[in-house]
Amino acid sequence: MKFTSSLFKAKAPIDKYSLYVPKTGVFPKKFEVGSIATGVKKNGNLDLGIIVNRNTSRKSTSSAVFTTNRFKAAPVLKSKEVLESNNYEGVNAIVVNSGCANSMTGEVGMRDAEKMCDLVNNKLHLDNQTLIMSTGVIGQKLQMEKIANGIDKIKFGSGFEDWLNMAKSICTTDTFPKLISSQFKLQNGKVYTLTGISKGAGMICPNMATLLGYLVTDLPISSRGIKKILSFAGERSFNCISVDGDMSTNDTICMIANGAVETDVVDVDSPDFEDVCKNVTSFAQQLAQLVVRDGEGATKFVTVRVTKSKTFEDAKIIAETISNSSLVKTALYGEDANWGRILCAVGYSKTENYDSLDENKLNVKFVATDGSTPSELPLLINGVPNLDVDEARASEILALNDLEIVVELNTGEEECNFWTCDLTHEYVTINGDYRS
Amino acid sequence: MKFTSSLFKAKAPIDKYSLYVPKTGVFPKKFEVGSIATGVKKNGNLDLGIIVNRNTSRKSTSSAVFTTNRFKAAPVLKSKEVLESNNYEGVNAIVVNSGCANSMTGEVGMRDAEKMCDLVNNKLHLDNQTLIMSTGVIGQKLQMEKIANGIDKIKFGSGFEDWLNMAKSICTTDTFPKLISSQFKLQNGKVYTLTGISKGAGMICPNMATLLGYLVTDLPISSRGIKKILSFAGERSFNCISVDGDMSTNDTICMIANGAVETDVVDVDSPDFEDVCKNVTSFAQQLAQLVVRDGEGATKFVTVRVTKSKTFEDAKIIAETISNSSLVKTALYGEDANWGRILCAVGYSKTENYDSLDENKLNVKFVATDGSTPSELPLLINGVPNLDVDEARASEILALNDLEIVVELNTGEEECNFWTCDLTHEYVTINGDYRS
């Protein structure tokens, strides 16, 4: 059946493009990017991008986090192999195509993924140093002729437009490209640059959500350092977002450090290590949040904060359960102060270690993030439901586009922030509609 | 925001009432039921029901399965206590109210639940032999005056209309009452009757889904027998349905056997035991399926069959993951033959024991249940995606109101059937809308 989604728009849509897409940017030294429309996307949009490290003065280091789905798409298997065979050093390019995920494509898919990497290696005179990512329709073969042709023609640059186009080239049904950049100083006084690109849980029927992201920096980091940093950051960013709770066969987050800023290599025992880890984590969180901002049909951006937990893992399970609850997400959409559903989700969250959850110490509240007061609205206090919830104020807070749900466990010092969006008619329309 | 749900109706709604509500029925001996409108439901509908066992010739036996949500509503805690203090024998009444779940109501809620049971015990001259169930709004106190008044006035009967009204009195936003009855013979040639009533995952903002069900029979069963039967049957029926994956604070399924048919008590080692267990299980499955049929906004009834598994638990986890996937459920609504989403869900299902899932042995197919052919449409064969899926036939099967998704693990002999519905605009409307 076909749906006229405009029927379901309850309020004027937010202009996410102008809100979240930068107008300028500064990018890490010695990285270049190129993108092109190969024709795989029927609408003629950019659908192939390559990022290349031009720094030859020292070996790059890299790390990646892949989907845990047991059906891993060919590009995931190929990228794993490239990283391992290079021992996480000297990986100098990433090629990404959109429009076809090369997933559930068996042997043919593996050969095509290898072919794509070889084409890029040849073009850039690299020796098996190219990672690959694909997103788009699953169960369909790559149109290798178009892709080979695109790789052949692609040109590289390092300007803002080049980076923005790179971000555009990996989009599927994303409503805006996701590109952020930031600079940070270390104790040595030197300035380093970190750039990230991601794409959201967008669909092109008949495929599934795919989350792709990569971070590149000109800071020199050891290979064991970058591994530790990315797994820490990923666990607290891309693994802490929910649009619909489904996990794809292609999800990949990777990071490359080319050390183009000629300073000492940051290793796990360097004085700067923790600082770098924090910087990368908050940067990865910003990048991951853009995916939720662009969640299919989303009208709200909700931070679920589970605090004062005995363990991070428990805090995360509770935050994730609330963030994935259809009842919580529809209530948020309806701006219904339906606090019972939040308590319910806390109640059925499967925390392995029950030490972190003591009903009698539990506080739950809505928090307004727009500066209005009272900013906190208690729903549960020391495990006792607040039967006198100020429903009017609750509705005010629920009417905000951005808000927080805070769950205080009061059993420890760990915390997890999870980011989710509402479940809307538009979501059902996008995902229920026939492939177009 | 308010939604006009009629906008989203893609096809003429199914007349579920005439399809699923019986016109006559035969009921177990020596049980009587009564129901009344106390005024708790603003619309004046029936909202209080009592079922009573009038058989005094032998002690009844009973068992119950309760929500595992850590926030258990007062009636759940009270019923647990009644069953335990009676050692699962001699429980002779169940009182059920709808319109208020008496959940998240703290001390007051416990006292009110006890008061309700006492009122019924006094009316029926019972000594702490009454179970209690409540469904409806959470975080609100019971209107005890109205309820006491209702209990006082309630009249009992054993005719079809009495039973149908009992089923009506526990409904919330259910679109039809759920009442079924069946008779079965044992080797002794005697006929026994089994009657079941349930209510669905209906919402009255601001509450959450509540699943209630009870089975009564005039077959004499030992207390350890009825415990084993209900937990086996419940695990394969009410625990195998998904509307939105949320679990309430009030979910309760209970069973009473009054032994009004004067034959030997069926115990776990009786020759008839397995037979009775099978009968009750398939009966409980029919009763549970009615809940999915009446799933909020549901337009489709989908059986997810995971077969040839090494363990039942693994089969169940995979079936449950598919049944709860928003992407699968929206694709079913859109009648989109989106097989990739099903494979994806199998891929991320968290099966503890991986022995049951071997990708290379996996078969996945759509199955038509209307007798049309080919009835089976393979999506995955021995782990290899069927890239030549007959999309036209797939769409035909997806267009059916009833269909099956079959996942063959080919690692053992266990199987689990799970029942789910589609995720529709109407679901979002019902659950996103303001409390009314």
DSSP characters over B233-258: HHHTTGGGEESSS---S--EEEEEE-
pLDDT at A383: 83
Classified as helix, coil or strand, B366 is: strand
Q: What is the pLDDT of residues A18-64, one digit of tens each?
A: 999 999 999 999 999 999 999 999 999 999 999 999 999 999 999 99
Side-chain half-sphere exposure of B367, counting CA atoms within 13 A: 13
- The band of A191, judged by pLDDT with boundaries at 50, 70 and 90, is very high
For B158, the token pair is: 């054993």
| More confident position, B68 or B374 | B374
Alpha-carbon distance values, B146 to B34, B105, B167, B289 (Å): 16, 18, 20, 33
- Read off φ and ψ for residue A302, nearest 5 degrees: -120, 125
Overall fold of domain B21-293 = L-amino peptidase D-ALA esterase/amidase (3.60.70)
A-B Cβ pairs (cutoff 8 Å, strict): 211
* Of B427, B237, B417, the residue nearest B332 (C-alpha): B427
For A288, the token pair is: 């991951």
Overall fold of domain B301-432 = Ubiquitin-like (UB roll) (3.10.20)
Q: What is the pLDDT of residues B71-123, one digit of tens each?
A: 889 999 999 999 999 999 999 999 999 999 898 888 899 999 999 999 999 99
Options A38, A175, A193, A210, the catalytic residue:
A210
Residue A171 near residue A202 (C-beta atoms within 8 A) = yes
Kindly tell me if the per-residue pLDDT of A126 is higher than 70: yes
Q: What is the pLDDT of residues B137-186, one digit of tens each?
A: 777 889 999 999 999 999 999 999 999 999 999 998 888 999 999 999 99
* Catalytic residue list of B: 210
Kindly tell me if the per-residue pLDDT of B7 is higher than 50: no
Determine the average pLDDT of the residues in A408-415: 96
Contact list in A for residue B69 (CB cut-off 8 A) is 344, 347-348
Q: How many CB atoms lie within 10 A of CB A87?
A: 10
Maximum CA extent, chain A: 69
Determine the average pLDDT of the residues in A383-412: 89
Cα B11 to Cα A93: distance, rounded to the nearest angstrom: 51
pLDDT at A68: 80
The residue length of chain A stands at: 436
Top residue of A343, A361, A386 to mutate, by most chain B CBs within 10 Å, is A343
Those residues whose C-beta lies under 8 Å from the C-beta of residue B347, and which sit 6 or more positions away, are A69, A70, A71, A247, A249
Those residues whose C-beta lies under 8 Å from the C-beta of residue B269, and which sit 6 or more positions away, are none
Cβ contact B432–A384 (<8 Å): no
Rounded to two decimals, the pTM is 0.83
Kindly tell me if the per-residue pLDDT of B436 is higher than 60: no
Q: What is the mean pLDDT of chain B?
A: 89
Distance from CA of A330 to the nearest CA of B (A): 5
How would you classify the pairing of strands B93-100 and B130-137? parallel
Q: What is the pLDDT of residues B266-289, one digit of tens each?
A: 999 999 999 999 999 999 999 999
Cα A338 to Cα A240: distance, rounded to the nearest angstrom: 23
Radius of gyration of chain A (CA): 22
Kindly tell me if the per-residue pLDDT of B6 is higher than 60: no
pLDDT at A201: 66
Q: Is A210 a catalytic residue?
A: yes
Kindly tell me if the per-residue pLDDT of A322 is higher than 50: yes
pLDDT at A3: 39
The residue length of chain B stands at: 436
pLDDT at B202: 54
DSSP calls for A16-38:
HHHHHS-S-----TTEEEEEE--
- The band of B11, judged by pLDDT with boundaries at 50, 70 and 90, is low
Cβ contact A344–B7 (<8 Å): no
pLDDT at B230: 97
Kindly tell me if the per-residue pLDDT of B28 is higher than 90: yes
A246 has a chain B CB within 8 A of its CB:
yes
How would you classify the pairing of strands B178-185 and B191-199? antiparallel
Cα A115 to Cα A106: distance, rounded to the nearest angstrom: 15
Top residue of A341, A359, A407, A435 to mutate, by most chain B CBs within 10 Å, is A341
pLDDT at B64: 95
Distance from CA of B10 to the nearest CA of A (A): 7
Top residue of B5, B6, B70, B377 to mutate, by most chain A CBs within 10 Å, is B70
pLDDT at A246: 66
**Sheet order of strands, A301-309 included:** A241-242, A414-421, A301-309, A402-408, A363-368, A376-381, A384-385
Residue A33 near residue A157 (C-beta atoms within 8 A) = yes
pLDDT at A7: 39
Determine the average pLDDT of the residues in B353-361: 81
Is B199 one of the annotated binding-site residues? Answer: yes
Q: What is the pLDDT of residues B284-301, one digit of tens each?
A: 999 999 988 888 788 899
pLDDT at A206: 34
Is B431 one of the annotated binding-site residues? Answer: yes
- The band of A395, judged by pLDDT with boundaries at 50, 70 and 90, is confident
- The band of B5, judged by pLDDT with boundaries at 50, 70 and 90, is very low
pLDDT at B403: 93
| More confident position, A140 or B204 | A140
Cα A10 to Cα B425: distance, rounded to the nearest angstrom: 13
Residues 285-324 in A contacting B (C-alpha not used; CB under 8 Å): none
* Of B250, B254, B255, B214, the residue nearest B77 (C-alpha): B250
Task: State in Å, rounded, how far the first CA of chain B is from the last one.
Answer: 12
Tell me how many helices (H) and strands (E) chain B has.
Answer: 12, 16
Q: What is the dihedral of CA B263, B268, B274, B279, to 10 degrees?
A: 60
For A64, the token pair is: 């990646």
Cα B132 to Cα B130: distance, rounded to the nearest angstrom: 7
| More confident position, B336 or B60 | B60
For B5, the token pair is: 């749900």
Residues 86-145 in B contacting A (C-alpha not used; CB under 8 Å): 103-106, 138-141
Task: Locate the DSSP E strands across B29-129.
Answer: 31-36, 48-53, 61-66, 93-100
Cβ contact A340–B384 (<8 Å): no
Residue type, B312: F
A360 has a chain B CB within 8 A of its CB:
no
Kindly tell me if the per-residue pLDDT of A168 is higher than 60: yes
Those residues whose C-beta lies under 8 Å from the C-beta of residue A401, and which sit 6 or more positions away, are A14, A299, A300, A301
Residue boundaries of the structural domains of chain A: 21-293, 301-432
How would you classify the pairing of strands A301-309 and A402-408? parallel
Q: What is the pLDDT of residues A276-295, one digit of tens each?
A: 999 999 999 999 999 888 88
- The band of A434, judged by pLDDT with boundaries at 50, 70 and 90, is very low
Residue B367 per-residue DSSP state = E
